Chains A and B, each alone.
Chain A
Amino acid sequence: MGKSANQQISKSTNERSSSSELSTTEQVLDLLLDALLERQATRRPQPVPVATPSPAPSPTVEKPLAPEPIPPASPKRETRPAEEDWTPPLPLPSINLGRTLSRLVLALVALLVVINVPINHYGTSLARIMPDTAALVIRDGLVLKGSGTDIYVLQDDKLRWISSLDAFEFFGYRWDQVHVVDDSFLEKFEPGRPIHVLLKCEGSPHIYALENGQKRWIKDISTFDTEGYVWQDVKSVSCDYLRDLPDGPPIPEDAGPPPQP
């Protein structure tokens, strides 16, 4: 609004100055008005130039004659908890957080009971009903089974085949320990020494390894040791049971015809 008014005044001044019939007083007034407009234009704040790569120095702008801003009075410094004259703030009113917490605790207890209650005849609960996509922690003693009927135990990064149901039971494995995995997973491991249960009866000195339902005669003590067997692997059975088992190839295979217990 001020700018347009100035422009109008300037226009009228020019019109008047162009007239030849102006009096001396009017001419003086015109000069005064021109001077006033010029001063106003000088005092108007210049727009701040946008930063450009031009090295030209910006024109010096006369500072407006505004009074220096008085800094606001600094607020009273608050004392900190570590200081001696510190006093704790007034306690806030209660929002019954204790009651809310006790309700949360009760709700969680109820949920825990619900998710741990078995919901099918296998005894599976909600907490453990998700499909078995869980990571298998590979460790010694892990019992694995592929698509076939053979069951293996992982030991020292090698798969040891459990050669019979007797061996499975004798070494204390349980069916709930058996993890069914892809055959490709089993192929990642080298085959290790099979796990046999060794059979012996009271009246005979001979020891046999049970494999695929057949008894395999172990020729002598040095073979027993070479195969890595230990006396704890030997299961005592009746001689009749042992005689009824069909003979398999002896250990080693060139040991000759196996003796009967």
Chain B
Amino acid sequence: MKDLAIIETILRNRYHFFNEIREGIGLSEKMRAMLISSIAFLALYGAVMGSTHSLWQALSSAAKLPILFLASLMVCSPTLYFFNILFGSKQSLTQNMALILTAITVTAVLLLSFAPITLFFLLTTSHYQFFKLLNVAVFTIAGSMGVVFLGQGMQVVAASGKEGAHARRWVLRLWILIYAFVGSQMAWTLRPFIGAPSMKFELFRQLGGNFYANVLVSIGEILGFLVVK
């Protein structure tokens, strides 16, 4: 409950929150609270996604969705940190991670807000490809909002270092692209999150194909162009 209160601070008093990160006030408490709340929200959304297939899939997705986000954070945050340092940033790695965690927390809370809608479609339709694309759309919207928060946070936290500010903005934009690529590949590696209806439960599926091709194929099947193989 106490950890969830940080969501209100992030959503309603974001500039105040970012300013505290800039000043380094209570960074570890903030990160702990964001970590707990985002893990809880992501696990819940993962369970909703996996419920279409089986109870095991629900449990597996509940464990895998937080891992997906946190692993992507671990993989990508050093790149952002060192490139920012290269272009004159005075932020610490902890501040960087706190900002990325803020973005993940915003994404997680927005995913939670989408959970009733996903549940509604789970109960009223059983079209696998539609459900998959619905979730891609939900993740895109929530992820985009998280990235907006990250951009705002970087602006505030980097305010003290004027040198290379323009370059750092470009670093952030490029890093967001890299983060999206790493995240989607990570999701592909950790799949299934929903579970194909004709397949038995499996913790991880064999590698092969890629995320983007699969999304295009799903769109193709929904529009009646082809059958998924």
User: Contact between B126 and A89 (Cβ–Cβ < 8 Å)?
Assistant: no
Q: Do most interface residues of chain B lie in helix, strand or loop, or is the interface mixed?
A: helix
- The residue of chain A having its C-beta at the shortest distance from the C-beta of B1 within the complex is A102
User: Contact between A89 and B16 (Cβ–Cβ < 8 Å)?
Assistant: yes
Q: Does chain B have a CB within 8 A of A31?
A: no
User: Contact between B155 and A95 (Cβ–Cβ < 8 Å)?
Assistant: no
From A104, A115, A128, A179, B112 is in contact (CB under 8 Å) with A104
Cβ contacts A114-152/B at 8 Å (1 or 0 each): 011000000001111011111111110010000000000
User: Contact between A82 and B155 (Cβ–Cβ < 8 Å)?
Assistant: yes
Please, how many angstroms separate the alpha-carbon atoms of A193 and B221 in the complex?
Answer: 29
User: Contact between B47 and A99 (Cβ–Cβ < 8 Å)?
Assistant: no
Q: Does chain A have a CB within 8 A of B174?
A: no
Q: Are A111 and B119 CB-contacts (below 8 A) given A81-B156, A133-B127?
A: yes
From B48, B125, B198, A142 is in contact (CB under 8 Å) with B198
Segment of B5-13, B83-91, B95-103 in the binding face: B5-13
Cβ contacts B96-134/A at 8 Å (1 or 0 each): 000000000000010011011001001111111100000
Q: Does chain B have a CB within 8 A of A83?
A: yes
Please, how many angstroms separate the alpha-carbon atoms of A139 and B5 in the complex?
Answer: 47
Please, how many angstroms separate the alpha-carbon atoms of A183 and B2 in the complex?
Answer: 59
**In the complex, what's the smallest C-beta–C-beta distance from A86 to chain B, in angstroms?**
6
Interface residues on B, range: 35 or more
Q: A64-88: which have CB < 8 Å to B?
A: 80-84, 86, 88
User: Contact between A101 and B51 (Cβ–Cβ < 8 Å)?
Assistant: no
Q: Does chain B have a CB within 8 A of A112?
A: yes
Q: Does chain A have a CB within 8 A of B52?
A: yes
B210 contacts which chain A residues (CB < 8 A)? none
User: Contact between A179 and B198 (Cβ–Cβ < 8 Å)?
Assistant: yes
A116 contacts which chain B residues (CB < 8 A)? 51, 55, 58
**In the complex, what's the smallest C-beta–C-beta distance from A122 to chain B, in angstroms?**
13
B19 contacts which chain A residues (CB < 8 A)? 88
Please, how many angstroms separate the alpha-carbon atoms of A35 and B123 in the complex?
Answer: 86
From B4, B7, B44, B196, A108 is in contact (CB under 8 Å) with B44
**In the complex, what's the smallest C-beta–C-beta distance from A235 to chain B, in angstroms?**
24
**In the complex, what's the smallest C-beta–C-beta distance from B127 to chain A, in angstroms?**
6
**In the complex, what's the smallest C-beta–C-beta distance from B217 to chain A, in angstroms?**
10
Please, how many angstroms separate the alpha-carbon atoms of A90 and B9 in the complex?
Answer: 12
- The residue of chain B having its C-beta at the shortest distance from the C-beta of A104 within the complex is B112
User: Contact between A108 and B115 (Cβ–Cβ < 8 Å)?
Assistant: yes
Q: Does chain B have a CB within 8 A of A61?
A: no
Please, how many angstroms separate the alpha-carbon atoms of A142 and B196 in the complex?
Answer: 12
Q: Does chain A have a CB within 8 A of B158?
A: yes
Q: Does chain B have a CB within 8 A of A91?
A: yes
**In the complex, what's the smallest C-beta–C-beta distance from B223 to chain A, in angstroms?**
13
Q: Are A88 and B15 CB-contacts (below 8 A) given A101-B109, A108-B112, A128-B52?
A: yes
Q: Does chain B have a CB within 8 A of A222?
A: no
User: Contact between A89 and B15 (Cβ–Cβ < 8 Å)?
Assistant: yes
User: Contact between A115 and B123 (Cβ–Cβ < 8 Å)?
Assistant: yes
Please, how many angstroms separate the alpha-carbon atoms of A132 and B125 in the complex?
Answer: 10
Query: A residues engaging B (CB < 8 A)?
Result: 80-84, 86, 88-92, 94-99, 101-102, 104-105, 108-109, 111-112, 115-116, 125-128, 130-139, 142, 177, 179
Instruction: Across the A-B interface, give the 3 residue pairs with the lowest CB-CB distance, nearest first.
Output: A97-B8, A98-B5, A134-B197
Inter-chain pairs besides A88-B19, A89-B16, A125-B55, 13 sampled, C-beta below 8 Å = A81-B152, A81-B156, A86-B159, A95-B8, A98-B7, A101-B37, A102-B1, A105-B112, A112-B58, A115-B119, A132-B197, A134-B126, A137-B228
Chain A to chain B contacts (Cβ below 8 Å), 7 pairs: A88-B18, A98-B4, A102-B1, A105-B4, A108-B119, A115-B123, A139-B199
